[in-house]
Amino acid sequence: MSMLMDYNVEKTSEKIWKKARDNYISKPQFEPSAVKKVSLAASALCIWSSASSKYQAVTKKVAPKKLKHAEVTAVLKEAQAELQIKLDEV
């Protein structure tokens, strides 16, 4: 159980996520409600894996935006510092 709790979704390769999505997560048999009829624990794993898959997909889209935000923030801080210097001169 601790392995699942500590699992780092971001470090899993896109190739493995694609394989999991194509072969398991996208299948109707993988729906938690269908699996719950057989096993409550397996149903919870279905929910966890689907959520992890969605999280990874969102993280993949957000990562470049985070980098761009960091760059723009650095430029903004430089500009604000320059502005403060100019204002202090006046």
Q: pTM of the full predicted structure? A: 0.71
User: H or E stretch including 2?
Assistant: helix 2-5
Q: Which long-range contacts (CB under 8 A, 24 or more apart) does 24-27 make?
A: 24/49, 25/49, 25/50, 25/53
pLDDT in tens, 16-46: 999 999 999 999 899 999 999 999 999 999 9
pLDDT in tens, 56-67: 999 999 999 999
- pLDDT surpasses 80 at 1: no
d(C-alpha 37, C-alpha 46), whole Å: 13
63 membership: H or E segment, kind and range:
helix 40-89
Q: Would you list the domain boundaries of the chain?
A: 10-89
